[in-house]
Chain A
Amino acid sequence: MLDVIWLIPAFPLAGFLLILLFGRRLGEPRSGYLAATMVLLSFVVSVGAYFDLLSMSEEERSHVESLFSWVPVDSLQIDMAFLADPLSITMCLFVTGIGFLIHLFAIGYMHGDPKFSKFFLYLNLFVLSMTLLVLGENLLVTFLGWEGVGTCSYLLISFWHTKDANASAGKKAFVTNRIGDWGFMLAMFLGFQAIGSVSYLNLNLAAESGAIGQSTATGISMLLFVGAVGKSAQLPLYVWLPDAMAGPTPVSALIHAATMVTAGVFLMTRMNPMLAAAAPEVSVLIAWVGAITALFAATIAVAQTDIKKVLAYSTVSQLGYMFLAVGSGAFVAAIFHMVTHAFFKALMFLGSGSVIHGMHHEQDMRKMGALRKVMPVTAATFIIGWLAIAGVPPFAGFWSKDEILLFTLAERGPVLYAIGLVTAVLTAFYMTRQVIMVFFGDARWGSHANEAEAAHLEHADDETDGAEADAVDDAHPVETHGAHGEFKPHESPPIMLFPLVVLAGLAMVGGIIQLPSFGFIPSDWRHKLEDWLHPIVAPGEAEITGSSAYDAKELLAVLAIACALVGIAAAVAIYAKKMAKPVEPEILADGWGYDRAISAFMGGPGRKAFDAIAWFDKTIVDGAVNGAATTISKSAGVIRRGQTGNVRNYAGILGAGVVLLLVWFVIGRGVL
């Protein structure tokens, strides 16, 4: 299967082209099934490649499949080549696997949307870009995918672009990502300047052997980190991700759980020898940025009322954990958390999509409650996701988060560890709050019987996808709409529930890929992921087995469990038992005013600066260009008067010229 590794991006490409050509004719739901099948085929190839690699010895597990010479310019030789090694295949497995489930879910979720085919067109293009990103053998192929996911996220976030908020959210994502791309590009140039190649293998080899000096390695690592901060929504560039919730929910699940935002962590892991060769301060900085982002986003998530915004800030926070791991030299733990996070966050995003679908596009959690009775499957799977992210063993999230915290304490000391623990408490708290607000307590959706609100809701439905509401009515003739005076949420169709159930299963048992070395776990069950990724992450991976933190790892795990339980208990006390009025400070709901501060800055001084630059461009730059053009045009106007069209006139000028030449030859040059 390794020889046909190019099939992994080729299938979504085929799907993209087919839907591009025949999308209208295929219509709903066939274009959806086509797109999903293509991603499934990619997944099958990935699984085949996985088993191929597994059958090789550890040192051989790196296969480069070169398709053609892409950029052959003198010393710059860049191939369109794919690299199949444990890291890229791990990424491919969960990108295409979860991508397939999300495609299935979307078939149900987008049912009735007038732009159904176009949605799957974009989704396949997205998967194509993401597979290019992870499979690229060099920075340029990765950059192609990197820009591709950026473009697709723009297209998908603003998919319902007739709404102002959606359109501007797409733009925000696009523009913010450009800042990160700047770092990525400079890193690429710097790498090429240093060793004349942008291939990962060459760059990493050069970093390991010392062919790249520490200062260059530091520069490359820092610039790559800038790129990663943009793509993976870390401080200060996280602003695009919460806004991106404006897109359809399957998009949120795909972009914000399984694919695009993980690209930054993937890139840092891919280049870990470079990070190891860089100044140690770079890793410390990455750890701090990650930890502060994790805490910062978690505090904001505590006070959000939009069901998807909570999950969005939670994603930012969990990505912060991954960067904390990267900065602590725990690359295996970063990838481990990325995989488990993809499982449970995709599950919860799709679960929230199911809730939104069942609630007829209501996203405000204050208008939900007691949904477990009407949506039992969604509720059960969501609760599994909640336990996983909150860090309750034996669910997947506990193992990965515990591993990150262990490395943080061993490598970066107690301060960052404490930030990680506080974040864990907050994570458990806000997720419990969400589960209680949505699935438990009193049913607050009855208020939709209110005539005015119902009319408003009906209107909102028409705006997004009115056809869907009609189709839903067809499927469930008993249920009626708010406008008819009665509002009843309903469970989603099986095609949406199936992915939820599969993901819930993965969120439950996903931890087995990297179990820690606790006494009660059989020794051949431990550290599977670490053994698998070992040759790739070995140069940058921190060694902590001799540290005091490692010796106390059971105690630390108990501490982490205690933190999770404290968070859950606090939320239950406040929200379920109503012992206290909800404590949700305005500043948290507002995201610490960060977004508004940026808007104010960009609208005020920023705007003035841009106006000044625009003025400079218009008067000085354009003025110089236009001035040169005007001068030439005017002198041409003078000269053109000599062109009379009179032959004898021309002959006279010619004759005069001959005479002048003669005079010059005779007098000036002394001929004759």
Chain B
Amino acid sequence: MSAAMLGAVTPTTTYYLILSALLFGIGAAGLMIRRNPLIMFMCIELMLNAVNLSFVALAVRFGNIDGQTAVFFVMVVAAAEVVVGLGLIISLLKRRPGANADDLAELRG
């Protein structure tokens, strides 16, 4: 069963980039709208993955390995961010009831 049999169009790079932009937009909107730090965290992951998608798509498009290499770096950074970020969030949730990022403004200027 191929894509052509289903009558669907062959996806070009543009489709991937549009999908990437949509995912990034959803992530960014979620980060700004939601208050639960865990959800916000997932939104960040979404944005990172959207960027990864555009990297891979463009790497394939130009036959260049650089984009894929960048993805590895992004994944390493994301992993590290999760380790530190989740630790922070969990210790915050332990300290105070509820999960509202807006309440956490103690380091404001």
Q: A-side interface residues toward B, CB under 8 Å? A: 640-641, 643-648, 651-652, 655, 658
Contacts and interface: CB of A to CB of B under 8 A. Distances in A.
Contact of B109 (A640, A647, A648): A640
A652 B32 contact: yes
B105 A645 contact: yes
Contacts of A655: 28, 31-32
Given A655-B28, A655-B32, A647 B101 contact: yes
Nearest to B44: A651
B96 interface: no
9 contacts: A640-B109, A645-B104, A645-B108, A647-B104, A648-B31, A648-B35, A648-B40, A651-B28, A652-B32
Given A651-B28, A655-B28, A644 B35 contact: no
Given A645-B109, A646-B105, A648-B32, 7 more contacts: A640-B109, A645-B105, A645-B107, A645-B108, A646-B108, A647-B104, A651-B31
A671 to B, nearest CB: 13
B98 to A, nearest CB: 15
Interface residues of B, number: 15
B17 to A, nearest CB: 11
A128 B82 CA distance: 68
A645 B32 contact: no
Contacts of A648: 31-33, 35, 40, 101-102
Interface string B84-109: 00000000000000000110111111
A239 B102 CA distance: 76
Nearest to A642: B109
10 closest A-B pairs (Cβ-Cβ)? A645-B108, A645-B105, A643-B109, A640-B109, A651-B31, A647-B101, A652-B32, A655-B28, A651-B32, A644-B108
B93 to A, nearest CB: 15
A178 to B, nearest CB: 49
Nearest to B25: A655
B50 to A, nearest CB: 12
A643 B106 CA distance: 11
A640 B108 CA distance: 9
Contacts of A640: 109
Given A655-B28, A655-B32, A647 B40 contact: yes
Interface string B27-40: 01001110101001
Interface in B4-52: 28, 31-33, 35, 37, 40
A646 B32 CA distance: 10
A351 B40 CA distance: 94
A628 B41 CA distance: 43
A652 B34 CA distance: 12
A655 B31 CA distance: 10
